């Protein structure tokens, strides 16, 4: 019994000496006795590991206003809306720029096409004046009385001279020709055909436009005549009696 009691006392002393040794060692190193246990239970820190550190550009925060946000992002009244009532057709989730057969594209007459049509207008005007001068000479010859040989030569030439005096070079008054899509191609291009009536010297004519247009060249349903592929621009008369 005494031996058992002595063994218990000895074990308690050894345990106390071990704890005292740990405390003494911690005091010498400047650490508390509870710190090692806390360090063992702490999870790993990613901020202290260079492999997980942020390697990107440092963030720079600045003040943002509503006006500046709208200007940078081009925000309009339709921003955030899935339904828009403008354009060729209303679209959902994405704007529909695809045009269909029958849609209108206005062709602006500029550049080479404008010079070509102006030349044809000048030729047509001269033909009209020649026709009128010829008709005036025929009418004067019909009204000529027998025996009046003195005025026979001067009378036919008077309308021609008047026609030459009144001759005034005209230019094409048509600036745009509305055209319709008559055919679509697999690459997205359109074949267009259009016409517009106008007057030359009190006579009605028509401008005809045909050709192929690429979707990238169309802006606001308009395209320049120089961008029309295989374009044909012509002027025809509504009066079959005048041959150009």
pLDDT at 9: 67
φ/ψ of residue 231, rounded to 5: -75, 140
pLDDT band for 195, please (50, 70, 90 cuts).
Answer: very high
pLDDT at 132: 85
pLDDT at 57: 75
- Spatial separation of the C-alpha atoms in residues 184 and 101, rounded to whole Å: 7
User: Mean per-residue pLDDT for 208-212?
Assistant: 93
Q: What angle do CA 80, 84, 86 make, to 5 degrees?
A: 140
**Higher-pLDDT residue of 26, 96:** 26
pLDDT band for 239, please (50, 70, 90 cuts).
Answer: low
Q: CA-based Rg of the chain, rounded to a whole angstrom?
A: 48
**Higher-pLDDT residue of 6, 15:** 6
């Amino acid at each position: 019994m005494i031996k058992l009691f002595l063994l218990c006392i000895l074990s308690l002393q050894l345990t106390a000496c071990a704890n005292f040794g740990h405390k003494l060692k911690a005091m010498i190193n400047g650490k508390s006795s509870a710190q090692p246990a806390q360090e063992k239970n702490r999870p790993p820190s990613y901020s202290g590991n260079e492999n997980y550190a942020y390697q990107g550009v440092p963030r720079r925060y600045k003040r943002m206003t509503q006006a500046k946000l709208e200007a940078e992002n081009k925000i309009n009244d339709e921003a955030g809306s899935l339904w828009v009532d403008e354009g060729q057709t209303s679209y959902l989730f994405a704007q529909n720029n695809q045009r269909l057969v029958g849609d209108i594209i206005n062709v602006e007459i500029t550049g080479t096409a404008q010079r070509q049509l102006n030349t044809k207008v000048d030729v047509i005007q001269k033909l009209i004046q020649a026709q009128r001068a010829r008709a005036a000479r025929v009418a004067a010859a019909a009204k000529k009385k027998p025996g009046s040989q003195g005025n026979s030569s001067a009378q036919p030439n008077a309308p021609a001279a008047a026609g030459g005096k009144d001759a005034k070079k005209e230019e094409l008054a048509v600036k745009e020709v509305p055209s319709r899509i008559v055919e679509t191609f697999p690459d997205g291009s359109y074949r267009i055909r259009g016409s517009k009536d106008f007057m030359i010297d009190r006579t009605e004519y028509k401008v005809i436009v045909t050709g192929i247009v690429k979707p990238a060249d169309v802006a606001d349903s308009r395209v320049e005549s120089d961008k029309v592929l295989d374009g044909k621009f012509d002027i025809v008369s509504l009066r079959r009696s005048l041959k150009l």
